[in-house]
Amino acid sequence: MTKIRSTTVCGIFHNGEVALGADGQATMDKHIAKSNVKKIRKLLDGKIVTGFAGSTADAFTLLERFEEKLNAYQSNMKRAAIELAKDWRKDQYLRKLEAMMVVANKEELLIISGTGDVLEPDNQIAAIGSGSMYAHAAALALKKHAPHLSAEEMVREALNIAADICIYTNHNLIIEKPAK
């Protein structure tokens, strides 16, 4: 069975603000299945922004579980992420899910992996998906050489650079910032 996959998600914390964005491409085998998929979601009235990569159905399952954990732990994003990662490792059903998430609020940025890891990324840049290395490299260069740009501008440019290089990434971008 052919899976729908491939994406690029990039989040940056810069100068006291966070932005998270993703391209819109979904790939089925070697073909573009859809070019305007929305891979960024807002939770808790926009206070938390999430982006996902991997199998879409699996990502939505994880998103639902993450939202349940947020409700259980009084909107504490880091605690909810850790509890989700623990469940992900222990639960036989969840262990089979093939997805990753980046979650952000106005103060921090985290990567949640299917191996049970919750990572606070170096350099306050989080990137996942097929084009993640391109977006990550571009974001590092932008933070170093264009610090006058906003987090949102950096995410937009990093994703556009990834889309120029990676065949699994397109220029249909959605970029969101957590509500204050």
Contacts of 56-61 with C-beta under 8 Å, sequence gap 24+, read 56/4, 56/26, 58/97, 58/98, 58/99, 59/99, 59/101, 61/94, 61/97, 61/99
Contacts of residues 79-86 at CB distance under 8 Å and 24 or more positions apart, as own/partner, are 81/110, 81/112, 81/118, 82/118, 84/112, 85/112, 85/113, 85/116, 85/117, 85/118, 86/116
**Catalytic member of 7, 8, 56, 169:** 7
Distance between CA atoms of residues 86 and 80, nearest Å: 10
**Tokens standing for residue 161:** 């650079």
Q: Is 7 a catalytic residue?
A: yes
Q: Which residues are catalytic?
A: 7
